[in-house]
Chains A and B, each alone.
Chain A
Amino acid sequence: MSGGVDSSVAAALLVQQGYEVVGATMKLFCHGEDVPDRPCCSLDSVNDARRVCEQLGIPHYVINLETRFGEDVIDDFVAEYERGRTPIPCVRCNTFTKFRDLVKKADSIDARWIATGHYAQLVDGELHRGLDDDKDQTYFLWGVDRAVLSRMLLPVGSSTKAETRAIARKLGLSVVADKPESQEICFVPDGDYMKILRDRLAADSPALSRGPILTSDGMHIADHHGFAAYTIGQRRGLPGGFKRPMYVVSIVPEDRAVIIGPREELLGRGVVAREVNWLGDPPAAGMHVSVRIRHRARLAAGELIRVEQNEIEIALDEPVSAITPGQSIVLYDGSRVLGGAFIERAAGEALAPAENRRQSLPILAA
């Protein structure tokens, strides 16, 4: 229970349905200072969760998973930026922290079910998108161990956010009913992830060091102060003076280079992804699926053209913008989540071949 409205209502609904509910708040990190109004992990949030549990008449515990979360999520977050990728820590938190480490704690008190406030639905042991398409969180849940699905309860997954808030008000959960929502990463104060990187990486880390901003044909436009500050599709903070809007189209960490280009250079016709997890039997190559390559992005149609143990490739029917290494690709059959993987790279011919691009950058030899 994060102390937010979704998990609070989830707990309340389960109590109503007659379950014996135990509230748990995960303590995941400590910045040494309290961050007010920060969901998940600040003291205020723990206190709100505790108060909701008191109101519901159920016990509440704080589970310290700081060490594991630090290794599985925060360390990886930093390492991904170092590699010029844009990580998605919520996926790893769900996979390793919530639906693995916390499940072990559930085992230790004989709790058969593990419930969260996620907007997703379970139907006959299958994971489906939440009813509220705007709130659907399956993008973050594809990585959970298939075996855990049979123990998951997602009580608010078939509600809209507005309905969840209405339930909270009706039940008198005034502590959380109108709490503002955060889209930010819980362990990144004020959304400033560069601060986390500066705290954890050496000052001379390539990811935080000066490097060139280049066009895809190798023209040196300006310098940046660390490629970790850039993500694919980003427009803000790039040098001006072009006829058309320019975007970050790729990051080449070994050259410390940030490559920019016009919108069409962002388009990709295919995706190669790794660390594959299936929530059912693995589909065969040739299957037509719909995919999501970014949280809240529109679903795109495509064909699964290659399925290996740890790598898949999807050919997209229509080009898609900003295929970002480190983000997830989630595969759906209708509303059902087949599984997902972490995007390794865009595939297909829409982008200039990487080798050519690198050869055209003699300036980087220094």
Chain B
Amino acid sequence: MPPTPIYLDHAATTPVREAVFEAMRPFFGPRFGNPSSTHRWGREARAALDEARERVAKCLGARADEVCFTSGGTESDNLAILGVWREARTAGRNAVVTTAIEHKAILGAVHEAKAEGAEERIIEVDKTGIVSRDSWNSEVRDDVAIASVMWVNNEIGTIQPVPELASDAKSKGVVFHTDGVQAFGKVKIDAASQAFDLLSISGHKIGAPKGVGALFIRRGTKLHPLFHGGMQDRGRRPGTENVAYAVALATAAELTIAESAKECDRIRALRDRLEAAIVARVPDAVVHGRGAERAPHVLNVSVPGTDSESLLMALDLQGIAASGGSACSSGSISPSHVLTAIGVKPDLASAAIRMSLGSLSDDVCIDRVADVFPALVMKARQFAASG
């Protein structure tokens, strides 16, 4: 009998919550209307959409008009970077500042801005992934259109001092964006007391379906839309709104916030236990981001003398789902740009295994991984040593 599968890849995606699924259901049935229509069906849909927007806003400490629904984290990030830069360049702010450990959605958007004429500035990070304040201070000047720093790193879990960076940016008149996709529900996010201007979130990381996300856009922040068409979402995001998914995002966000404190404690305890067990049995295992403040759900570890590709295969064949560096479109693994940026040597970077915990993680599965992972590592090392 194959062992019960263990899902340790919650940072990649999460299952849709039952309550979220139920909340969406009417919008695939009788409440199918287009929110822009003036008739009964339209009004009904519009009401649901507005309510969803208010609920998401509340979860972020924001006002409803500051929430723009998108297709997910990537679109939110692109809208923030390109939208703000295309607007600000005309006012003499041409530089875009970010870090080397951002998600590809940010780096890709920044590279696109560069291709269109932006000046790209990459801030240095230390070996745990925390932004260097010296580098920040020297790069974030009055010619910067937008600075973007990811709140919680998706690969190593490092938490950046976003509220301080945002305040500093504000004092220089620089628009500040943060990719909060991994941060939502893991750190305190409050647009009312924190100074960020834009923040991206994604539905499928918190129990909503893939294909929905939101961008918080602080009132007064000017940005150019990515799409052109109708006046939906104040013209910031033309296209008929995905009412069902907006409702799903709102429901998932509320549930996530409601359970946040307890759930964070729970998965932190599990993560710390797994980490301790691995380090105890494999003393030279390197835990990336260790030493910095880390989100509770991510454990990224490299064992010298192994490689991610083989280890992920071996884990998968044991029913354990984890991930390596960034999977490319073919599905093959290449060394992570994040680990490379924090100075991890190529050998070690290509051995990285990210295990990320969440709703499907419990004592039983953590104990089994704590058992299986070191055993597979030992075997992989024997092979490496023998040939």
Residue of B nearest to A61 (CB): B313
Of B195-203, B225-233, B268-276, B329-337, the stretch lying at the interface with chain A is: B329-337
CB distance from B86 to the nearest CB of A (A): 27
Kindly state whether residue B32 has any CB partner on chain A within 8 Å: no
Kindly state whether residue B65 has any CB partner on chain A within 8 Å: no
Do A59 and B316 have beta carbons less than 8 Å apart?
A: yes
Q: Interface code B296-319, partner A: CB below 8 Å = 1, 0 otherwise? A: 000000000000011001101100
Q: Interface code A1-30, partner B: CB below 8 Å = 1, 0 otherwise? A: 000000000000000000000100101000
- Residues in B with CB closer than 8 Å to A46 are 330-331
- Residues in A with CB closer than 8 Å to B330 are 25, 27, 43, 46, 62
CB distance from B257 to the nearest CB of A (A): 37
- Residues in A with CB closer than 8 Å to B316 are 59, 61
Alpha-carbon distance A61/B314, docked complex (angstroms): 11
Kindly state whether residue A63 has any CB partner on chain B within 8 Å: yes
Do B309 and A105 have beta carbons less than 8 Å apart?
A: yes
Do A62 and B317 have beta carbons less than 8 Å apart?
A: no
Kindly state whether residue A118 has any CB partner on chain B within 8 Å: no
Do B332 and A109 have beta carbons less than 8 Å apart?
A: no
- Residues in A with CB closer than 8 Å to B334 are 64
CB distance from B80 to the nearest CB of A (A): 27
Question: Count of chain B residues with Cβ under 8 Å from any Cβ of A?
Answer: 15
Do B314 and A108 have beta carbons less than 8 Å apart?
A: yes
Kindly state whether residue B30 has any CB partner on chain A within 8 Å: no
Kindly state whether residue B380 has any CB partner on chain A within 8 Å: yes
Do B331 and A108 have beta carbons less than 8 Å apart?
A: no
Residue of A nearest to B316 (CB): A59
- A-B contacts counted at CB < 8 A amount to 43
- Residues in B with CB closer than 8 Å to A22 are 313, 317
Kindly state whether residue A107 has any CB partner on chain B within 8 Å: yes
Do B313 and A104 have beta carbons less than 8 Å apart?
A: no
Kindly state whether residue A38 has any CB partner on chain B within 8 Å: no
Do B314 and A27 have beta carbons less than 8 Å apart?
A: no
Q: Which of B310, B331, B383, B387 contacts A62 (CB 8 A)?
A: B331
Alpha-carbon distance A25/B313, docked complex (angstroms): 13
Do A109 and B331 have beta carbons less than 8 Å apart?
A: no
- Residues in B with CB closer than 8 Å to A59 are 313, 316-317
- Residues in A with CB closer than 8 Å to B387 are 104, 107
Do B309 and A63 have beta carbons less than 8 Å apart?
A: yes
Which has the most chain A C-beta neighbours within 10 Å: B314, B332, B383? B332
Q: Interface code A37-80, partner B: CB below 8 Å = 1, 0 otherwise? A: 00000010010001000000001011110100000000000000
Which has the most chain A C-beta neighbours within 10 Å: B309, B313, B333? B313
- Residues in B with CB closer than 8 Å to A63 are 309, 332
Within 8 A of B (CB), among A92-132: 104-105, 107-109
Do A108 and B310 have beta carbons less than 8 Å apart?
A: yes
- Residues in B with CB closer than 8 Å to A64 are 309, 332-334
Question: Given the known A-B contacts A43-B329, A62-B330, are A109 and B313 also in contact in the complex, defined by CB atoms under 8 Å?
Answer: yes
Do A107 and B383 have beta carbons less than 8 Å apart?
A: yes
Within 8 A of B (CB), among A125-172: none
Which 10 A-B residue pairs are closest in the complex by CB-CB distance? A108-B310, A64-B332, A62-B332, A62-B331, A27-B332, A46-B330, A61-B313, A109-B314, A62-B330, A109-B313
19 A–B contacts from the bound complex (CB under 8 Å):
A22-B313, A22-B317, A25-B330, A27-B330, A43-B329, A46-B331, A59-B317, A61-B313, A61-B316, A61-B331, A64-B332, A66-B332, A104-B387, A105-B313, A107-B383, A107-B387, A108-B314, A108-B383, A109-B313
